[in-house]
Every structure is written in C-alpha cells, then in structure tokens.
Structure 1
Amino acid sequence: MADRPGPRGAGGSVDMTAAPAPAPQDAQAVHPLVAKAQRLAEHHRRLENAQLDAEAETALTRSRLTVALLHALEGRAAARHALRGHLVSLHQRAAVRSPRRHNRISKTLDKILLRLGTLGRALVILRSGLWTSPPGTGWAGALKDIRAYLAQGAAPAAQPPALLDQAFYLASNPDLSGAASPLLHYVASGAREGRRPHPLFDPAYYAARNGQAMLASGLEALEHFVRIGAAEGRDPHPLFDLDWYVAQDPALTDSGANPLAHYLAHGWRAGLSPHPLFAPDFYLAQLPLAEREGPPLVHYVTVGWRSGLKPHPLFDPAWYLRQDPEIEASGREPLSHFLLEGADRGLDPSGWFSCAAHREARGANLPEGANPLVDYLTGGAWAVSAASPGFAAAAYLAANPDLAQGDLTPLEHWARRASHP
C-alpha cells in the first residue's frame, strides 16, 4: 500500500517538520478528563468550606459553653459565700461567751491575789479565763492543774492549755529568763505591756480593730478574744480569718469552739486553711518531712517567710519584697503587709497577679475595702475575663474544663503547675 504524501512546502516538496493534526477521537477523550478534574476540585473546595464552617461552629459552641460555665461557676461561688455566712452565723450562735467587767476593783483584787502565794497566783490565772480545762473539770481541779503548772516555772516545754505559746513567749522576751511562769507573767503584766502571747495572736492588730469593745469591758486583747471576740468573729491575726476557717468544718459550727484553739489542736492536721491566701498543702510541699510536725501557719510566720517559702501559689514573698526594699528592711512579714496595706499601695503579690488589672476588671462589683487577690480567690475569678494581663481565663478554662470540678481558680491552677512542672 502506497504511503500518503505529507504536507508540501511552497516549492511543492514535502514538509517533514510539520506536526500531524490531532485525531478527532483524541480531542474528544481529553474533555471528559478535564471535566472530571474540575468536578473533583469543586468537591474538594466544598469539603474544605464545610470543614471550616464546622470548625467555626465548634469554636463558637465551645465559646458559648465556656461562657455558660463561667456564669455557673460565678453562681456557685455566690452560693458558697452565702453558705459561709450561714455557717458563721450558726457558729456565733453556738459559741459560749463569758464576759467579765475587769474594772478597777477587779484589777485591785488581782494585785492582792498575786501576793498570796501559789494559790493566789493560780486564782489570777483562773479568773483571766485563759486557762482551758478539759470538759467536766471543776474549779478545784482547774486550780490544782494551774498550781502544778506554776511549779514548773519558766520551763519552755511546760506548755499550758491556753493561747500562750510558752517557748515562743520566752524566746520573744529574753528579759524574762529565770522569771516565774510565762502565763502568770502575761496575765499579770505582759498583756498590758503589749507582749505577744502566741505567733498567731497579734495584740496590736486586735486592739486596733476592737479598741472600743476592749475599752468597754476593761479586758486586754487576748482575754477579750478568748471570752468574747472569737465568738463574735473578731480575727486574732491578719492571716487568720475566723469566718473563712469556721465555714470549712460543720462540726466546728455546731460546737461553737474557739476557731484558733481548734486550728492549733486539730484543724491543721485536717488540712483546714486559716486564710484564703494560705494553702496548707502547697506550703507543706515545700518543707522536708521532718518540719511538717506542727501547724503550717505557725511555721510560716515564725520561720518560713524568712526562708522565702510561699504561703500560696499566687504570693511570692521574695518577689513582693523586691517591689519595696523598705518593707524588707523593716522586718515585717510580707503577706500580712500585703493584706494590711500593700495592695492599697498598688503592690502586687507576685508576677502572676495584677491588683490593678483585677480592680479594673471588677469595677463597681469589687466589694468596698476588699483585697483584690482575696476577692479573686473567693469568687471574683469567675466574674472577670483577665485578672492578669495576657491571661485569658475563659480560654484557660476551655483548655482545662476539669477546673470546674475542683476549688482552684484558673490563675492558681496555672501557678501550681508552673511551681511543680
């Protein structure tokens, strides 16, 4: 069969370089492939859009749920606050008050009794109301126990059943070396001189807040607290919030027992917290096992703060003191300083929390006179979007929804994780 002639050039010769024309059936085969590719591309685009829409809807739903959860947690905090108030009311109703008018005649009688030997001195201690005898002990039995205590003199280990720490009192007052028993000294003159009977009782702090009540009764600070003040919810120390403590133990509200005495005897062992800014578990975790054999708050106010130990994840003593070298030079315990005046001066408790940011976020809802960090920890955390610049509470809660089941606030949870990676 003869070959077909190829395309010819201008001279009539065959052009061997010209491309052959596409066959009609090849062109028809290309069109379906292009159309299929276009359909696949369109389908992929729709899937991507659907995925983006689903992700946006999921994010929106999560955001709405987080906001709803924040409102629920704010409501829970308000309910707990109301419950605290109810429990405190029950405690004050159950608490026994034993007021006495310690007037000029009463004080003269004490002076006379002090000259009548051991029995007279024992009567002075008994009349003060500071000696706590076991239930069922009559006055005769109490006098016998007090006389036995007086016989031990100033032995540091002779701890009386009273809110006077014998070893602390002697160490704080070296001029009493070799004197009579510390409790007798305190009742006879130490209270009047403003000496501190216990690390967790601050006479100056108590008198500054209860001066009128003390004046009306004629009682010194500790006796007023033991006889009347504790039952009325008057705090003995900046770091011991009676209302906060009482609400943690229903049995305490039923008994009406003195909260400070309860903490020193039982409460610290049960892990009860004396103040919103003192977290016992967090504090004890910083101590070696050998130093965990006593009330952690006592350890903090006597030893711990000087060693830079943190009473709470959101309070760093070393960081706080660096803001004002004069505080450190004064030798004042930093957490008490923060509660009494530091926050009002614009000092922050640590790098985790900004008092100014929390005040701004809370606005008119911040209770008058409230410490910003205390407010944050006792309910305010759920009412603000950011208590610290750059920290979005809602986003953190969304990433850690288990927070809703516990008692930690977002910032505290974050600070604890940073302290114990």
Structure 2
Amino acid sequence: MTTVGVLPYGYAKPGTLGAGPALAGFSLGALGLLATFAQVSRAFGVPPALLAGLLAGPLSQVSGPTVVGWAPGGVPGAAIGGMCGTVVALGVLLIREAGRQGSAGRAAPQRAAGPGLPVGTRSRRTGPDAPGPGRGTDRNTEPSLRLLVDAVWRDDVRPASDEELLAALAFARGNRVEGRLARAYPRQLATTLDAVSDAARRFRRNLVQSTDRLGAADIPTVLIRADLSGDVVHGDFDLVVPTECWKAAQKALSGWYVERSAHWLERSTSVALEPADGPSAQLHTSVAWRGVSVMATGRLFAHAVPDHDGRAWLVPCPADRLRIRLARGLFLDQSLDLSELLALRELLAPEVVAEARAQTAREGWSTGADRALDLATRTMAALDRGEFVPLPLPLPVATSLRTGMEHAGHLLTRGRASTAAREVALRVPLVVAGRLRRRTS
C-alpha cells in the first residue's frame, strides 16, 4: 500500500514537509543535550529558564506557532510554524547559556596595552603584520578605539605614539578601515599605507579584467559590494548577474580564475572565482546570503546605474545600496562595523530612506531594517558627539530574530516553504555564532 492511498495528497510530499519536522526534531534533541550540559555545569541543578524552554519546545508543536503557520500555509505552514517555535526556544536558551559561559571567560585579567599587544611592546613602524582585528572592547581598550574613531570618523587627527597606533590599527582591521587610519598617519603607518595602496591597485585590476570579460560576452553585471577607495588590505568584490546568465558568466571567466569554490548552501547561486593574484570575484544570481534571497534581481538591474567612470559594470541605486548594507548586517554579519557606518552616512537623504523603507516592506523585512537603521543613526550621532561606542556595533538579538521570523513568514506566504525553512534554520546559528565571536575575540 502506498502512502498516497492512506494519507491526503499533501502528506506525500517529503520535500515539502520533511524540512520542518526534521529541524524541529533536531532542536528538541539539542534542547535535551543543553539540559544535560546545564545539569553537569551546575552540579545537577536545572535553572527555571531551561525548564521553561524544554516545555516550550514540545508545546510549540501543538500550539501558537503551529496554528499561526496553518492559516497562511496549510499543512506546510503548520510544519514550519511548529519548527519556528522549537528553534526559537532553542536559540533563546543557547544565547543565555553562551552569555553565562562568556561571563566566566571575561573574568580573566586583561592587558592594558591593547588587543594583542604585550605590555611594554613598542613599534617604530607598524604594518600589515601587526596584531589581528580587535573586536572585543572594554575600558582597557577604549583609548585605542577612541583614537581610531577620532581620526577616521571625526577627522580629528591628534598626536599618537607608535604603540597607541599599533593598538588602534588592530581595531581598524576589525572595522575594515585600516587604509583610512594609515592615510591619517602616513609617516608612522607607512608600511600599512603601502600595503593598502598595492591592494587597491590589484583590486581594481581584477575588477576591470573580470567585468570586461563579462561585458564582452554581453552579460550585464551589478557590483553590489566592493572597496575601491583603498581602505582594506584583504578583500574581494561581489557581482550579480542575471539568473539566466549564470553558467555563461562562469564560462566567460574561465581562464581568468585558477580556483573555483562554493559554499554548500549556495552552490547553485553563488561561487567564488579566485585568480592567481589579488582579490577574488564573488559571482551571484541575486542579493542573497546562505541561499536566502533578500532582494529581487530584476529590480536590482532595473534601477542600477552606470559606474561613475564608465566601466563595464553597473552599481545599485542609492536606495538599493542602503538596503544591501543593512541586509548584510541583519542576514549575515549580525553587526555593523565602522566601514558600514561610514557608507550608510552617505545614504541618509530623506528620499533615499523613504524609497528603501518602501522596498523592505515589499520584501518582508521592514521591521528589522527600520530597527537596524534607527540603531545606526543613533550610533552615528553618538560618534559625532565623541561618545564611546563599541565597534563593530552588534545588532540586538531581538532585532535579528525578529528579522528572520518576519522574512520567513513573508517567504511562506509567497509559496517558498523550503527557503522559509532555511531562513529559520540559519537564523539562530548565525545569532549565536555572532555573539560567541564577539565574546571570544
């Protein structure tokens, strides 16, 4: 006897119904493991919040989220609704547990000389081999970040020792503005300035070569993300091509790149093409992260404009550039670094913001976009006043989770159940990874 003969037709679609229950089952199992870990780490005591989460997960399978999902999506909607409740319960408890574990790590003594800088170390000439990005900020490292913000954001270049600049350079790398800091202190950061200038030259060469090849094949391209101002030593560039040109674009670039790689979640929509020297080209069919599309490719091309120097590529219109910046923070980075705030500052004209808000409402992530933009503008005002702001600026967990649920609901109502399930499945790991990365860096 076949499944179709026993159950309604909708239940015979494992591709539609399998993702939601599978992820819900995984989340319930993870809740059990988390409970075990909490018992061991607390001498067999389970905190009330964890007990509530353990109850919330199973109950979500037969209560609120399931009912809400049923209304717009029927059986698939109910499956995804139950999954959402379980995943959110797991995410809240993971974040809570990560915070508890992170607080123990923060109790260790911290060096007063700055991130990655041994006490007493001085450098007569800093450069690209200086300590890596400084992301964690506290009162000991605050002077280094203030020095960076004063020079890069407020154009207030004040005398600084080599040791102070070395510590500030670590923060500059973590915020992708080491070139701006080097241009503010060209004598003391001469090595970094040389490295950034060389990187900018190779960057532009690779961008021109790749887009010229695509143009020769009559494949239009929109450059959605790049750094042409010489701010970073290491970087790449992101190009969007029409979906129907996906295979032709890769063929047109054969011979230019020597290595091809793709993330397993994006292998049909995004690929990294790395040449023998210099930055790689990230080729996409849409503005998407981990296979979750945020913007319509048709609209992107319809409103794109030629680059200012008349090269082969197009660039997004101002409203699209604003949304791409916000979307990357909300859907991938979970933060806004200083380079993003500098770019956003140039896009805050009222008409640009109004158009961007109208589009995010159509795309199903307007609440998250509004909250992220509000946080960014308040942070800019604080930086203008000279107040201390930890950078990169973490986006609130509630905003990130709300964005994922809002966007997944939008996808579900548009009949894209599998993409909605992927959005929900990725949201909690992205948030947890972002918080842990900031706590341990």
TM-score norm. by structure 1 comes to: 0.31
Larger Rg belongs to: 1
